[in-house]
Amino acid sequence: MSVTLRVNPIACTGHGMCAELLPEVVELDRWGYPVLVSPTVPRSLREHARRAVQACPTLALLIEEKAGKHR
Amino acid sequence: MSLDFHGPGLWYATRATGLVAMLLLTVSVLLGVITAGRFASGNWPRFLSQGLHRNISLLVLAFLALHVGTTVVDTYTSIPLAAAFVPLASAYKTAWLSLGAVALDLLLALVATSLVRKRLGYRAWRRVHWLAYACWPVAVTHGLGIGTDRSAMWVLVLSMACILAVLGTAVWRVITAVRLGPAR
Amino acid sequence: MPAARLPRLLAGIADAAGLREHERRYGPLPAPGEPGRAGSRSRRRSRRRRPERLIDVVEAAGLTGRGGAGFPAGRKMRSVAGRPGRKAIVANGAEGEPASRKDRLLLSRLPHLVLDGIALAAAAVGADEAYLCVHGTEDALLRRLDRAVAERQAAGLDPVPIQVTGIPARYVSSEQSSIVQYLNGGPGKPTFSPPRPHERGVNGKPTLVHNVETLAHLAMIARHGDRWFRRTGLPSAPGSMLVTVSGAVTRPGVYEIEMGTTAGEVIMLAGGPAERLQALLVGGYFGAWLPVEAAWRVPMTHAGLKAAGGALGAGIVIAFPAAACPIAETARVARYLAEESAGQCGPCRFGLPALAEALASLAFAGGRGGNADDITKLIPLVERRGACRHPDGAAQLGRSLFTAFPADVHRHRRQGACDGVRRPPLLPLPGDEEREWDWG
């Protein structure tokens, strides 16, 4: 299974909770908006990723969980 | 089949759970406001305000369940269960109790929409969540109006403290929103 | 069709713009389902009318979108046609790029070619709603198009009525998701995808959005077939295209060229350079700077320009003289692009003004305060971080500036502004009177 994250840049208002909860994958630029270091989430961080998606105040962080190894 | 529950124990339980619920609701509102206002410090990340806000809101519901339960079970006053949700359904202190029912209904709406936030979509959820600013003052008014011990100093002081805390935080929120600019 | 390969679209450019002149020059509107043959005005009631056969022909012809992205037109039509339910079609004639004039030319002088294309495409994909969008500020053009549509209605030509619609005259409002949102009653701002217009667009229907030039080509392909279309251009980039040439050339204007014509040949078509050139800006403000020696031999195709580090875009070629300052001009354009941001996405809303400021600092103040380095840091911060491609265009323009003019950048850094900054501005931008500040 592959897990990828994506930001809806229109919904995002730069709260920054995603970066607090998933700092290995999400960094904040100089204006407080998220930069995804890599779109795919390693297995060990998947629960944290789900929590970050849940926590986003504007539902701007999106997660896509695809079964199987390839897209 | 009526159980004869009555006596000061139940009444104190009702009063106590109500006060605790009001306190916790106040804390929840404060945490909600500082989350929206993006408060954060070195030791206090944003997700902490948000997480506590959520958990404490659920805790408020738990205390309200006890608050309503002890009220209904108490045979000293015959308040039906429906009065907890439907305004004007109780003969006893109709006006003040109705406020409690309204506050509870609003709170249930807030919690229910928050639980299905993803499916509801952000905009609809946000519009409903503004009702929090109606729920809290209605709840506090219910508490001040219905309490038979409102003359007890400490209850008054506690209520004033809650009101001041929320007012102060609301002012902070308005100031920071103006400073941060639109869409924030 | 005459033996000469060009002009094709522009064959009737000198005629009056009425329906009768159009039919005399290009032939009447082919009946749907009869591609490759000029149908007669009395609609042939063929036993098995299959309008969607046009899609096969368009695919075989290899027509690509002429609005800038260059996506295969037939594939787009097929993906819309293949979806269930009724569809919608939008002809995008808004032409947000300030340096482009080809769509305005087509719509004002050859409107029936475009309207033919809309009618044929609507029948091919099964659309029951059709829109032709231009900037709402273009009153004269809107009236002319209304007249053209009325002429066709009177002749019983378009079963699906074509609704001529004015959209906000903002740079990002001509992006396809902006148009769809506007037609759905919202502001003319880009939306997040999924869903894309071809999945769910106007009124929830799968929507085909095509540039008006693409539809004009489609109208010709419906008359003459795919093999005819492929007789010009290259096998990998067939057909002809319209280019808008401006800047330091003798005869700026819109020209029709075969795909694959080199940029240098395009400049010569426009009368050659008016003064010594140092670069070409190809693709408009969504394109890239190319030093003139390298650019001269680059073929005007999507692949060719991409290989040269640029983009074909909507066929804009601006001849840039040696005596002007590319950094100052880029700074001007960057400020315009920053002002035209929809402001919906943080990286664009904050990144583009920062980029514009850094470029202005480099152009006029010698990049003091490390702003020149800031430009290289800002570019990856704005690229691909918006809901639409608006910040990508600005980023590409900025990056190509550094690639094409390293010596100028270096000189500005060390010695400050060059003499070229004192020239009057060259790159076209809408004047304040033409700018719109509403989103509709």
Both structure tokens of C396 = 């590409």
pTM for this one? 0.89
Q: Quick check: C3 pLDDT over 70?
A: no
The answer to whether residue B3 is domain-embedded is no
The answer to whether residue B1 is domain-embedded is no
Distance from CA of B99 to the nearest CA of A (A): 30
Both structure tokens of B10 = 């139940």
What residue spans define the domains of chain A? 2-66
CB of A9 within 8 Å of a chain C CB? The answer is: yes
Tell me, yes or no, if the two domains C9-229 and C240-321 fold the same way: no
Nearest-CA residue of chain B relative to A15?
B38
The answer to whether residue B172 is domain-embedded is yes
pLDDT one-digit tens code per residue, C22-47: 999 999 888 765 544 444 444 444 43
pLDDT one-digit tens code per residue, B83-103: 899 998 888 888 999 999 999
Fold of A2-66: Alpha-Beta Plaits (3.30.70)
Can you give the length of chain A in residues? 71
pLDDT at C40: 42
- Judged by CB atoms closer than 8 Å, whether chains meet at B36 and A20 is answered as no
Q: How far apart are CA C329 and CA C364, in angstroms?
A: 11
Q: How far apart are CA C333 and CA C315, in angstroms?
A: 18
pLDDT at B77: 80
Band the pLDDT of B135: cuts 50, 70, 90. Answer: very high
pLDDT at C46: 45
Q: Quick check: A69 pLDDT over 60?
A: no
Distance from CA of B174 to the nearest CA of A (A): 17
pLDDT one-digit tens code per residue, C46-56: 434 677 799 99
Nearest-CA residue of chain B relative to A22?
B47
Q: How many domains does chain B have?
A: 1
What residue spans define the domains of chain C? 9-229, 240-321, 326-422
Report whether CATH 1.20.1440.230 matches the domain C326-422.
yes
pLDDT one-digit tens code per residue, C353-384: 999 999 999 998 876 756 678 899 999 999 99
Q: Quick check: C328 pLDDT over 80?
A: yes
Q: What is the mean pLDDT of residues C97-124?
A: 95
Q: Quick check: C402 pLDDT over 70?
A: yes
User: Would you say C304 and C332 are in contact if contact means Cβ atoms under 8 Å apart?
Assistant: no
Q: Where is average pLDDT lowest: A13-27, C249-263, C419-433? A: C419-433
Q: What is the CATH number of domain C9-229?
A: 3.40.50.11540
Both structure tokens of C171 = 């740079």
Q: What is the mean pLDDT of residues C163-172?
A: 95
pLDDT at B105: 97
User: Which residues in A lie closer than 8 A to residue B118 (C-beta atoms)?
Assistant: 59
Distance from CA of B15 to the nearest CA of A (A): 34
Residue among B36, B47, B122 minimizing CB distance to A55 = B47
- Judged by CB atoms closer than 8 Å, whether chains meet at A20 and B183 is answered as no
What mean pLDDT, rounded, does chain B reach? 89
pLDDT at B11: 82
- For B150, the domain range is 8-180
Comparing C42 with B42, the larger pLDDT belongs to B42
Q: Where is average pLDDT lowest: A13-27, C137-151, C230-244, C411-425? A: C411-425
CB of A16 within 8 Å of a chain B CB? The answer is: yes
pLDDT at C366: 74
- Judged by CB atoms closer than 8 Å, whether chains meet at A15 and B38 is answered as yes
pLDDT one-digit tens code per residue, C306-321: 999 889 999 999 999 9
Q: What is the CATH number of domain C240-321?
A: 3.10.20.600
- Judged by CB atoms closer than 8 Å, whether chains meet at C192 and A9 is answered as yes
pLDDT one-digit tens code per residue, B50-65: 999 999 999 999 999 9
pLDDT one-digit tens code per residue, C210-246: 999 999 999 999 999 999 999 999 999 999 999 999 9
Residue in the structure block whose two tokens are 């009056």: C16
User: Which residues in C lie closer than 8 A to residue A9 (C-beta atoms)?
Assistant: 192, 344-348, 385-387
